[in-house]
Structure 1
Amino acid sequence: MNTSPPGLRFCGVKGHYRSDREDVVANFYLPVFDVATRYDRAVGYFTSTSLALLARGLENFTERGGTMRLVASPHLTEEDITDIERGYDLRAVVERATLREFDSDQPDSILDGLGLLGRLIAEGTLDIKLAFVEQHGKIGIYHEKIGIFYDAASDIIAFTGSSNETYGGLIANFESVEVYCGWVQGDGARAVRLKDDFQALWDNQTPHLRIEHFPSVARERMVQLGKERPGCHLPGTDDALAFLPQPALGLARLSLPAGMTVRPYQRQAVEAWLGQQGRGILKMATGTGKTKTALIAATQLANVQRQREEPLLVVVVAPLIHLVDQWVTEVEAFGVRPVAVYESSSKWQPVVEDQLHEARMGQRPVVVLVVTNDSFTGARFQSVLSRNTLPMLIIADEAHHLGSSSRRAALPASAIYRLALSATPERWFDDEGTDALIGYFGPIAFELGLAQAIEMGALCRYHYRPRLVELTDRETALYLELTGQIAKRMAAGDRLDDTDPNSPIGFLLRQRAGVLGHAEGKLAQLRMDLGERSSSWFQLIYCAEGNRPSEVGEPPGPNQLKDAMNIVGNQLHLSAYPYVADTPRRRRQELLRRFATGDDLRVLVAMRCLDEGVDIPDARVAYLLASSSNPRQFIQRRGRILRRAEGKDHAEILDYLAVPPAQAPINFDVERALLVREFARAHEFGKLSDNYETTLSTLRPLKERYQLMDI
């Protein structure tokens, strides 16, 4: 009597399965497993939970001699991907990532499942390989999902669809599967194509994909589990929900960090924003905790959404990658693991799509995406936003950056809730952009100025020490020449805008500002000031950008940052390091850690990359060799220095002001205009310092000479 199971032709499969109509696992996977002799599967994710669930469907299948080949993408962190792209040994990183799935404490049901798979591996029944997208030196996530069942009669059933071999993919999520039977006309060619695609994948013959064997250490760990749990018997899929833990969806609910105290002004800010129906701008001085205030607001909003039994999508938009990284850390402290959105969309888009899918299915109460300005305006992310149906809160960090015509066009009209953060939301020389931001986000809901922040203790007190540095004859002549060219441009109708990189007058304005910022005398004064503070830690030097401007036809002048590093390191023998735009992200984090601990790094020498958002509260002394005429920059820098830290109650700011030469007057009006630019900043810094009288006495002679006593 023939006791072999009927073949695939007799298991009654349909051409399409969808979660809203039926149980995909019970109606498709289990009947096919009951008659198949071989199973090939390529999926997007590999986790310990997924393998344990997979074991539940395999037990019967393998008892009849069935074999399986699995290709999956390991769960790589951003750190893993960065290590691979920087040349670390791929196999070592993959081994580390895979072993993470076995290191955490797992319930017995997971260990039993892994033990069963270990026995299958030991018996030669199961083989696993890992897949990566590898193109142009970048590593991406393999996210294809195909499967092929074979039977003893050489019939095949191939399928493709949205489910992964994960708890969420097979049990919890809303899924759709398209099925192609090899013996059905029209389906056969598709089934064979999927079979060939898998074989090419397994043989590592697919362009832009790299296939690696499952790490031997992880394989041995699973085999050992199989020996330790030889008698385990797993219940069928019907009982899977009772035995499997909740899906590893990250920390899903926003809540205040343990031990966090909400400051009165933060509570007032959140209440004011909620009072404007969840729209508005928080205009808060740098260093007063805008990020935490925004997350407190998001937490309150998420609580309201949860009471309504509605999910919430939070999109945080930040100017730069290192600010995204800081936001990720802050959000994690509030109980949610966000998705960082920047660089290649292959890294973030599959995760984003999965999380949004889970939220729509009620399995994730909140999704948080933290995205750079560039990625936010990109087509991939805009496509995600255009398809989103969840209630959305958009938080714009340093919101003034979104006021340009191209970026504000990307702001989603579908966002119900909108929150803008900036110490200086007004855009420099751009009233139209400022009005557009207010029109989108709403009016200022709460304002906390620097004076008030210092008075209430949110920021520390400080001394301000202006250093007057005379221009050389050469610098004076170049400044005068550039001023003349600017005057001609303005007379011809050019717009006075130093923010447009393509504007001729903008170039001239930046060159002229460079003459002041790179004034040679600043370095000699800096050396004297550093020498007097050579025993101090936590010091920052802000340098002028680029090289010293030069006459037309002459080579560029020296680089101020390199000169400052030479003074600090070679001449004064103080431990220092540059912090610039080209400093790698991981190196930046290490530098900030070393600077904060005070172990072996006294001085950071930086350009503009420390202007916005970087948390360096331990900084005690700042040397401002250069600042732009845009008040936003020096306001940001001052707030950066005044952040509170343990053991810090006071700061010191040394500001190097370029002034006309006393013995060689050039033009009264030009000299006066030069001093107006420099003294406006000095007045702003000095008026809130603990030594304002000293500032006034230092500046008074020049103020009197150039009729600037009103500044």
Structure 2
Amino acid sequence: MMTRQDSALRAADLLADYRSDRCDIVRDFYAPALAAATSYDRAVGYFSASVLAVLGHGLDAFAARGGTMRIVASPQLNAEDVEQIQAGYELRAVLEKAALRDIEQATEDPRAARGLGKLGLLVADGRLDIKLAYISSNDRIGIYHEKIGIFRDGHDLVAFKGSANETMPGLIGNFESIEVFRTWEPGDSPRAVRISQDFEDLWDNRTPLLRVVDFTAAARGVIQECAKRTAYLTEAELPMMDGAVITLPRPEASGRLVIPSELTVRDYQKQAVERWFANGGRGILRMATGTGKTLTALSAAAQLTRMLHNRGEPLLTLVIAPYQHLVDQWSKDVAWFGMQPVRAYESTASWYGRASSLLDALALGTAKGGVIVTTNTTFAADPLQGILARYRGRLLVIADECHNLGAKRLRDKLPTSAGYRLGLSATPERWFDDQGTSALTDYFGDVVFEMGIGDAIRAGALCRYTYTPVLVELDDEEAFLYAEVTERIARIIAAQGFSEDTDDDSPLGKLLRKRSNILGHARAKLPALRREITARREDWYQLLYCAEGRHPLAYDAGDVHEPTQLQQALSLVGMDLRMPAAPYTAETRRDQRQHLLRRFAAGRELQILLSMKCLDEGVDVPAARTAYLLASSSNPRQFIQRRGRVLRKAPGKEHADIVDFIVVPPNGASELQHETERRMVARELTRVTEFARLADNEARTLDILRPLRLRYGLLDT
């Protein structure tokens, strides 16, 4: 006599019915039944491979036990399919095309792709068959819409029927119910057996009104290719089902980076890659913002991957970027090059398992390559450092905005095992940090290729621009504070020299930032901004860079109620001038940032985007045509990056306009010594000279500034 222990399905304690208001149908029924079964038959109106991502480890255990699966489903026909059927096209060909379309669309969702990958393993072993069903009666073509299923374990069977389709919404999104019939329950057994027989009749094409045709051979190629691309992924490592879609690798990529056929690599990008290879796969590319550093680096990585692949050696590529939004941008480009990268940031649980599995696959030779894209912060933390420490294979490190990695807390973490190293930056030298700059070149190598903004404009990679300097004066209070802070800076430098890194929270660093903030927050800038924006009131695609924090005078006075410069500018633009505007700051949520950038690029919803530093590094806003530099430091990196933001090419954009607010001492100011005034003006003119040098209106710019240069003896600046 059969015991309860002999039947895995009996041990699963399945109930007689399940309903969405009382339980989780996937967790409480599908997963335990699949985990216990040795065969699964399913006839359903619509079947989506994405459901297999929900079933989780139940399917893994099912496959491991040698389980078999038979599926009968009805393809979703669109208007074109119906027209072709009515026009006399071969019915089977139309149905197969529609079903394949559904499968290929499913691969756009990484969880669905993982589900297809699991199906692929069953297909390869001959343990999965799929058939298509449709109504064929009296010249009528209709949809097969029945929903039945049968689980078997070699001893018992469990049959069920109900409202749920085998789709993601059908199982976890909709309100559904199913009835379950178990052969070991006397009242259930006849219905369970009858449902099982109905499926057998359907499978053998013995059901009146219905036609059933084989689909396994047609689907085999797509499903097995998806299995190859997702072999090292696990359910816990895939994104949550919140609607986010990640583009999966193209089939021809075969597990390694491949330059997309639709990508046109510019001559200067080819030259950069050639010089990097000529330097032994090490070096820094000093390329202006907007010249395609990312695509150049991935082209180099793809060529290196191919070279090593021909020698039978897999390559791990580690991309390190400063911020999460840059990781997301890199990941999209990596996917375009044929691989789905591991995005390592935020919670360790969201990426650690996948990264670890990738390294195992590389070590075992089951993966031909892999890419991890991470933030500076996650890169330096113990979990990722531990993974990298145990990797012994070929490693390429790509550092985006590599100047950031010169900071001591980061440069000491760079993996010495990396045989290939590529640094990317428009300005690789660190500001007031010779030691950090030397550490970068010691690790990555020297600059092997340089593409400045002037070269990029001449090559057509960036657009031309005009430059408008707007002179604004400090008021008496600001001039006095500036002189006072400058005197304190001079005393510290005289006593200890200028050796401290301004990144540190040192007395000198604080004073230098305070002096910079006095210029950035100069009160006369807001009235000047009103005049400039009013003159361009009808223009779209405008960026406005504001100073960070609060005015130093308000900060010293403890006035926390004075609006920030960004708040004042937003009020001016949005309230007074009635122009659609929005802030883009560190407080802006990541999903909201993408929404703002899309609205801005549309050119009909958001006229001005206001920011502080969030648009400095790596954010793509090619649609921007005008940039107001209400605040910009004397650090070349910052103002060069800000210029690059607005010089990116975009459809219909041939020219850009940069409006720069230059702070000068008040006329006849007695509080400032002449030499202090002169140095302040010289610092501002460093930026002006750089911007004017490449502008279309260089001569006009020099004419505007000539009186100021004469006044302070700075004609050579």
- TM-score, normalised relative to structure 1: 0.71
- The one-letter code of the counterpart of 1:613 is G
Aligned: 1:294 with 2:251: no
**Contact 1:498–1:507 (Cα < 8 Å) also in 2:** no
Report what 2:371 is aligned to.
368
Q: 1:232: Cα distance to partner?
A: 6.3
1:708 aligns with 2:711: no
Partner of 1:680: 686
Provide closer, same or farther for how the CA distance between residues 285 and 623 of structure 1 changes in structure 2, counting only shifts above 3 A: same
Asked whether the equivalents of residues 51 and 117 of structure 1 are also in contact (C-alpha less than 8 Å), the reply is no
Q: Is the 8 A contact 1:119 1:226 kept in 2?
A: no
* Residues 231-630 of structure 1: pairs in structure 2 closer than 5 A: 246-249=227-230, 251=249, 252-493=255-496, 495=498, 497=500, 499-550=502-553, 552-556=556-560, 557-630=562-635
CA distance in 1, matches of 2:196, 2:663: 72
- CA drift of 1:467 comes to 0.2
Contact 1:51–1:114 (Cα < 8 Å) also in 2 = no
Residue matched to 1:215: 172
Alignment partner, residue 670 of structure 1: 676
Q: CA deviation at 1:359?
A: 2.2
| TM-aligned CA distance change 1:404 to 1:56, over 3 Å | closer
Change (3 A) 1:429 1:102: closer
Whether the 8 Å contact between 1:327 and 1:370 is mirrored in structure 2 is: yes
1:142-161 deviation line (CA, Å, top 9, x unaligned): xxxxxxxxxxxxxxxxxxxx
> Would the aligned equivalents of 2:256 and 2:370 in 1 still touch at CA under 8 Å?
no
Residue pair 1:118, 1:219 contacting (<8 A) in 2 also: no
SS across alignment from 1:119: strand
Letter in 2 for 1:555: D
Letter in 1 for 2:296: T
- Shift of residue 443, structure 1, vs aligned partner: 1.3
Q: Provide closer, same or farther for how the CA distance between residues 3 and 561 of structure 1 changes in structure 2, counting only shifts above 3 A.
A: closer
Match of 2:651 in 1: 646
Q: Deviations over 1:450-478 (max 9, x none)?
A: 11111111111000000000111111111
C-alpha distance in structure 1 between counterparts of 2:693 and 2:278, whole Å: 34
Task: Tell me the secondary structure at the aligned position of residue 492 of structure 2.
Answer: helix
Amino acid across the alignment from 1:441: F
Tell whether the 8 Å contact from 2:53 to 2:115 is kept in structure 1 after alignment. Answer: no
Secondary structure of the equivalent of 1:658?
strand
**How many angstroms apart in 1 are the aligned matches of 2:486 and 2:715?**
24
Structure 1 SS opposite 2:470? strand
In the alignment, is the contact (CA less than 8 A) between 2:53 and 2:112 conserved in 1? Answer: no
Q: What is the aligned counterpart of 1:631 among 618, 629, 636?
A: 636
| CA displacement, residues 517-554 of structure 1 (integer Å, 9 cap, x when unaligned) | 11111111111111111111100000000111117444
Check conservation: 1:498, 1:510, Cα contact below 8 A. no
- State the partner residue of 1:120: 151
Secondary structure, counterpart of 1:614 in structure 2: coil
How far apart are the structure 2 equivalents of 1:396 and 1:460? 26
Q: Is the counterpart of residue 660 in structure 1 residue 665 in structure 2? A: yes
Residues 59 and 311 (structure 1), Cα distance of their counterparts in 2 relative to 1, 3 Å cut: closer
What CA distance in whole angstroms lies between the structure 2 residues aligned with 1:225 and 1:422?
65
Equivalent position SS for 1:617: coil
Instruction: For 1:137-286, list aligned pairs within 5 A.
Output: 215=172, 246-249=227-230, 251=249, 252-286=255-289
CA shift in 2, pair 1:520/1:414, >3 Å: same
SS at match of 2:530: helix
Structure-to-structure mapping, 1:71-90, within 5 angstroms: none
Match of 2:99 in 1: none
**498 and 103 in structure 1: CA distance in 2 versus 1, 3 angstrom threshold:** same
Secondary structure at the counterpart of residue 505 of structure 1 = helix
Alignment of 1:10-25 (within 5 A): none
Q: Return the alpha-carbon distance in structure 1 between the equivalents of residues 690 and 178 of structure 2.
A: 64
| Distance in 1 (alpha carbons) for counterparts of 2:223 and 2:475 | 79
Deviation, 1:366, is: 1.3
Deviation at 1:104, TM superposition (A): 11
Which residue of the partner structure matches residue 705 of structure 2?
699
Cα distance per residue 1:227-274 (max 9 Å; x no partner): 76777699xxxxx99996634425322112231111000000001101
2:378 match: secondary structure: helix
The Cα shift of 1:97 comes to 9.3
Question: What is the distance in 2 between the residues matched to 1:597 and 1:242?
Answer: 36
Deviation (angstroms), 1:694: 1.1
Matched positions, count: 555
Measured in 2, the distance between the counterparts of 1:216 and 1:521 equals 56
Instruction: State the 1:617 CA deviation.
Output: 0.8
Is the contact between residue 594 and residue 601 of structure 1 (CA under 8 Å) also seen in structure 2? Answer: yes
**Partner Cα separation in structure 2 for residue 669 and residue 242 of structure 1:** 74
Instruction: Return the offset for 1:113.
Output: 8.5
Offset at 1:343?
1.1
Q: Distance in 2 between matches of 1:428 and 1:627?
A: 15
In 2: Cα distance, 1:696 partner to 1:53 partner: 71
TM-score computed with the length of structure 2 as normaliser: 0.71
Query: Is 2:627–2:659's contact at 8 Å kept on the other side of the alignment?
Result: yes
Partner of 1:24: none
Letter in 2 for 1:360: A
Q: Check whether the contact 1:98–1:218 (CA below 8 A) recurs between aligned residues.
A: no
Shift of 1:628: 1.3
User: What secondary structure, in the 3-state scheme, does the structure 2 residue paired with 1:609 have?
Assistant: coil
1:19-38 pair list within 5 angstroms: none
* Matched letter for residue 596 of structure 2: L
How big is the shift at 1:218? Answer: 10
- What displacement does 1:306 show? 1.1
Find the aligned partners of 2:336 and 2:306 in 1 and give their Cα distance.
Answer: 17
After TM superposition, give the deviation of residue 683 of structure 1 in Å. Answer: 0.5
* Matches of 2:262 and 2:68, distance apart in 1: 52
Which AA in structure 2 matches 1:418? R
1:418 Cα deviation from its structure 2 partner: 0.4
CA-CA distance at 1:61 after TM superposition? 11
Fraction of identical pairs, as percent: 45
* Mapped partners of 1:565, 1:701: distance in 2: 33
